[in-house]
Each structure stands twice: as structure tokens, then as C-alpha cells.
Amino acid sequence: GNGLHMLTDIHFDNARMTTNGDIFSSVWGNNWLSIWITNQLNTRGTIDWINSELAIRDNNINTRATIDYVNQTFARKNTGSIQDWG
């Protein structure tokens, strides 16, 4: 295709961009952008923690009464009537 094609890293003073698109800069704490993003996500919750929280949520949802359970367990219609001629 057309456009600029890199065969090696591009350097901008103390920053650089690799051919895979990762960026190294002091903006990212003198680290790679991909590492900075991973660190930011891990400080908020690791993937294992997130998965365990989702599993807990799913178990809570699954233990709630389903429509079928309610229909089988409770009367589905009013079998008596109350009239108030007040």
C-alpha cells in the first residue's frame, strides 16, 4: 500500500515508536505505553479479580427465582374474591 513504511523504530528526542506501534516516553513514566496501560488496569483490578467478581455476580443471579420456579411454586391465579360493597 501507499504511505510511510517503517523498517525500524522512529526516535523523537527521548521518545520512540516501534514498528509494532508501541510508544516509549517519559509521559508513560519512562516506559512503554503497553506496559503503562497494563499497570493502570492492574492497579484497578487484575483479570483474575475481575473474573472472580463476575463469577460471584453470575452465581447471585443464578440463585434467584426463575419464572418457571415461581409458576410451579405459587398459585398463578386468584382462587378467591373479596367484595367490598361499602
Looking at per-residue pLDDT, the higher value among 12 and 65 belongs to: 12
- 45: alpha, beta or left, given left = phi > 0 and alpha = psi -120 to 50? left
Q: Does residue 17 form part of some domain? A: yes
End-to-end CA distance of the chain: 86
Residue pLDDT, tens place only, 24-60 = 999 999 999 999 998 888 877 777 877 888 888 887 7
Q: Does residue 76 form part of some domain? A: no
How far apart CA 14 and CA 1 sit, in angstroms, is 30
Q: Does residue 80 form part of some domain? A: no
Q: Does residue 74 form part of some domain? A: no
Q: Which residues form the domain of 19?
A: 10-69
Q: Does residue 77 form part of some domain? A: no
Query: Average model confidence (pLDDT) for the chain?
Result: 79
Count structural domains, the chain: 1
